[in-house]
Chain A
């Protein structure tokens, strides 16, 4: 075989033509192998794309959340005891944290209003969340503005009727035009847009609502104009100096809040503390199951593809005994026969790989549209698929190809003629 490869490049080239012609002559059989391999490669494509997608999403969440921050929400959102209130975080909690929690340097209270209709001209948009925030919202959340300015201390102090607009409502109300300086009706309150948040493109922890679908207003304005409970916050964001000690900080924070809320030793927390890694854990547990399922599927599908290839090739070798015997009689060496049959296998699996990547991308798109997966397609997927295809061809095609190469020409010719 190596002699054929090294000494006869012309022969090697011609054998590719021979292999191609043989494949076209056996279309039905070729199709089955291609289809079987394609299934495996499709599953592989979805897995690689979803693992990459999950990793990217994880990085985005850490980036967005900040590695040095935790979010405290009212109520135990994981296992909410019956009858537990979610309005449990107060100004006095916020002050206690700022005053006596070691390592904490910023405590940002958050209030929000759900499902608010925004109106501009004759266009309406239902924003899932209007967030009440303190100054420098964009800066503290590591969320760059694509236009305009951030909320200022003055805005907060005076309860200014200004807002930062997320990418989704900006597109819905203004299309491609700039929203800066425009006045939007938030329910019945005219609010001037002063900044536009850049596109983030992912959904927040656990929900399927895009983080881009929001409006940010000074917390003072929101509280006054929407008659919110002045005593309680939906959440508090606490930032620490040393992100490496975040675990310790969280324990301290928990102890402090339990003390503030006067919770006895048998009473569960009436708040939830989340860090970026907590959110990641939730996310990976969710995608991990799907990835494991697809991984097993891909492995099985690729194995099945390989066995289909091997069996149909064995069948082909016995059906084509006369052809093989004849080729050897007229001067084909065993190496030339081996290369012909291996080439046939390689072409089938490569075709399967290309079809499989196509199928996988299609399948992945549907899954991500259904919100089940975050996909990231990269050239790596293509390279990996081709490598897998080549491996299948060589691993499963070698034995039948060697069988063909080892046939005795007289035996082979006798097998099919007289």
Chain B
């Protein structure tokens, strides 16, 4: 990895210490996260819960290196991330983190296969190995027959399964999902959560799911409750 700090011995995968995030709008500071301190160990399956507007997504974006804390420290795999350049963060996102979003966010003009391959494009892995892995992942999520389909030809549940396969293409340690079942009916939601549980259980990936739905949160072994920008219970 790029960092100088050797991975801390016995340190958890994720360590947030006193993290704040505030937005300044029109001269007025709006503090969304105020002093979040949180450890998540490798291999955990955690749900971040809380009412709408409580800062769940903001927290997930920080965990996913899409956003930087206003203050406080975020150590990922024992490495302080605050000092990393934007390009280094891009590289770390590419290699260590897989994302799943509420609205799937597939590239509309690319096939399911190409969508799964997308994070692989920005990695150093050879194309042939990536393509092989993409086909394996599509098989795992049950979409072998749909590999050449465009997103518009797929149902919501199928699109989210493509997104799940995409999140795994570079074999990251951490999967972050923001309301992954928010646009799905309850049956399909269950399928997606089963898949996420399997990814956690079978592949040993750390999975963090943001949700306000208790049924979805029930799949996780740990519930983290966020209210008013703080971790109320974890």
Interface size of B by Cβ–Cβ distance < 8 Å? 30
Q: How far is the CB of B25 from chain A (nearest CB, A)?
A: 14
Interface size of A by Cβ–Cβ distance < 8 Å? 32
Chain B, residue nearest A331 (CB) = B94
Interface string of A260-295 (1 = CB under 8 A from B): 000000000000000000000000000000000000
Stretch in contact with the other chain, from A79-87, A157-165, A218-226, A332-340? A332-340
Chain A, residue nearest B94 (CB) = A331
Residue pair A333, B105 in contact (C-beta under 8 Å)? no
Expressed in whole angstroms, the Cα–Cα distance for A4 and B94 within the complex equals 15
Chain B, residue nearest A332 (CB) = B122
Q: How far is the CB of B100 from chain A (nearest CB, A)?
A: 11
Considering residues A21, A330, A336, which has the most beta carbons from chain B within 10 angstroms of its beta carbon? A330
**A59 within 8 A of partner (CB):** no
**A154 within 8 A of partner (CB):** no
**A3 within 8 A of partner (CB):** yes
Expressed in whole angstroms, the Cα–Cα distance for A416 and B108 within the complex equals 12
* Interchain CB contact (< 8 A) of B87 among A25, A26, A329, A335: A335
Q: How far is the CB of B180 from chain A (nearest CB, A)?
A: 13
**B173 within 8 A of partner (CB):** no
| Contact partners of B109 in chain A: CB under 8 A | 21-22, 24-26
Known: A410-B67, A413-B101. A328 touches B90 (CB 8 A): yes
A residues in contact (CB < 8 Å) with B? 3, 8, 10-11, 14-15, 18, 21-22, 24-26, 322-323, 325-336, 409-410, 413, 416-418
B residues in contact (CB < 8 Å) with A? 61, 64, 66-67, 86-87, 90-91, 93-95, 99, 101-103, 105, 107-110, 114, 118-119, 121-124, 127, 166, 170
Contacts A329-B64, A331-B122 known; list 10 others, CB within 8 Å. A8-B124, A325-B105, A330-B99, A330-B118, A330-B166, A331-B93, A333-B87, A333-B122, A413-B105, A418-B102
A-B contact pairs, 22 of them (CB 8 A): A14-B127, A22-B109, A25-B109, A326-B107, A329-B66, A329-B99, A330-B99, A330-B119, A330-B122, A330-B166, A331-B93, A331-B119, A331-B170, A333-B86, A334-B90, A335-B87, A409-B66, A410-B67, A417-B101, A417-B102, A417-B105, A418-B103
